[in-house]
Amino acid sequence: MNSRKLLHAAPALLSAAVVFGFGMGAASGNGSADEVRRACNSCHSLKRVCALLGERTEAGWDLSIRNMVARGALVTTGNIKPMARYLAGVEQDDPALCD
């Protein structure tokens, strides 16, 4: 790509970087209890989530999160797997999530 084309592409590339960065920055992607609480509790009680802790696999949580995203949950694509991994590793009634 020559410098002229790069110069014309720069605004679009910068915009994409900003949007992508803000989208990923809204939740850090580490699958923390705070992220799960924010995403899940916006539509339903965490009791629904806590009742399934220790029973559902990471693949099961991944499918559930994708289903909730399809219904409007505010989770970025990059945060689905970390959240599923977190939920699969949390014990039922974990005080960090289920208070």
Query: What pLDDT digit, counting tens, does each position of 1-17 carry?
Result: 555 554 454 444 333 33
Rounded to whole angstroms, the Cα distance separating 44 from 68 reads 11
- Is the distance from CB of 56 to CB of 88 less than 8 angstroms? yes
Give residue 70's pLDDT. 94
Predicted TM-score of the model (pTM): 0.67
Rounded to whole angstroms, the Cα distance separating 66 from 81 reads 10
Rounded to whole angstroms, the Cα distance separating 65 from 79 reads 10
Q: Provide the sign of the torsion angle of the four alpha carbons 62, 33, 47, 68, taken in this order.
A: negative
Q: Which pLDDT band holds residue 69 (cuts at 50, 70, 90)?
A: very high
Give residue 91's pLDDT. 86
The answer, yes or no, to whether residue 67 has pLDDT greater than 80, is yes
Give residue 92's pLDDT. 83
- The encoded tokens of residue 45 equal 């009680």
Instruction: Tell me the per-residue pLDDT of 33-49, one tens digit each, with 9 for 90 and over.
Output: 888 888 988 888 889 89
